[in-house]
Amino acid sequence: GNSVTQMEGPVTLSEEAFLTINCTYTATGYPSLFWYVQYPGEGLQLLLKATKADDKGSNKGFEATYRKETTSFHLEKGSVQVSDSAVYFCALSEPPNYTGANSKLTFGKGITLSVRP
Amino acid sequence: DVKVTQSSRYLVKRTGEKVFLECVQDMDHENMFWYRQDPGLGLRLIYFSYDVKMKEKGDIPEGYSVSREKKERFSLILESASTNQTSMYLCASRPRSYNEQFFGPGTRLTVL
């Protein structure tokens, strides 16, 4: 079955530090890959996504590249801010079929990022 | 903007009570999902539905049931709440041919 593995947390960084959060996956076929973010007290929001190999997703200064050869989708940001403090989830989904019955997301366990001023 | 709303942000119930968690989406999405979120375990899928009156078990359906009588509404039911069902419950929806899911704000349920 499909699975997603995220690096262990939590992670604490100083403002303006470089961020890398590792994510690797196991899947059959050609899944789409996602990073979701959960700010304190809120639900999950899509941060970025990539739907095929070598695609780069980007949003709010975050980037991740779909690497099929290493089955990875690592999240990076060049300079983190206090407002980036949140829980980050890596996830994958198979391409939807007609009914959408295969539309499940498989999530990693999430990692808590704390950025101190 | 897609909006997914959940009936309560916080809920406290007693062991043995029947609990209803409601989720409504306003974008005519075919697919809807219920997850629970626990520290160290991430999100786990309880049930999902890909059409009205259709439901599929997720990874941890035991102790839960669901109802989808209308396209916009997906209810999670705890027939007899237990303390191990204390958790954050997240609802999500997505259109049939698009694989991004849109999440509600969550309901933090405490069972005493």
pLDDT in tens, B17-68: 999 999 999 999 999 999 999 988 889 999 999 889 999 999 899 999 999 9
Chain A residues touching B97 at Cβ < 8 A: 96, 100
Banded pLDDT at A7 (limits 50, 70, 90): confident
Chain A residues touching B96 at Cβ < 8 A: 96, 98-100, 103
- Among chain A residues, CA nearest to B94: A103
A44 touches chain B (CB under 8 A): yes
B1 touches chain A (CB under 8 A): no
- Determine, for residues B96 and A99 on separate chains, whether the beta-carbon distance falls below 8 Å: yes
Mean pLDDT of B62-89: 96
pLDDT of residue A58: 97
Q: Which among B42, B56, B99 has the least Cβ separation from residue A101?
A: B56
Mapped onto helix, strand or coil, the DSSP state of residue B85 is helix
The alpha-carbon gap from B95 to the nearest alpha carbon of chain A, in Å, equals: 8
B79: tokens are 């027939």
B101 touches chain A (CB under 8 A): yes
A96 touches chain B (CB under 8 A): yes
- Determine, for residues B106 and A43 on separate chains, whether the beta-carbon distance falls below 8 Å: yes
CA A28 – CA A48 distance, rounded (Å)? 22
> A20-56: per-residue pLDDT in tens?
999 999 988 788 999 999 998 888 999 999 999 999 9
The torsion region of residue B14 among left (phi > 0), alpha (psi -120 to 50) and beta comes to beta
- Determine, for residues B105 and A95 on separate chains, whether the beta-carbon distance falls below 8 Å: no
The closest alpha carbon to A33, from A57, A59, A69, belongs to A57
- Cβ neighbours around A27 below 10 Å, total: 17
Q: How much is the mean pLDDT over chain B?
A: 93
Q: What is the DSSP letter of A76?
A: E
- Above 70 in pLDDT, residue A96? no
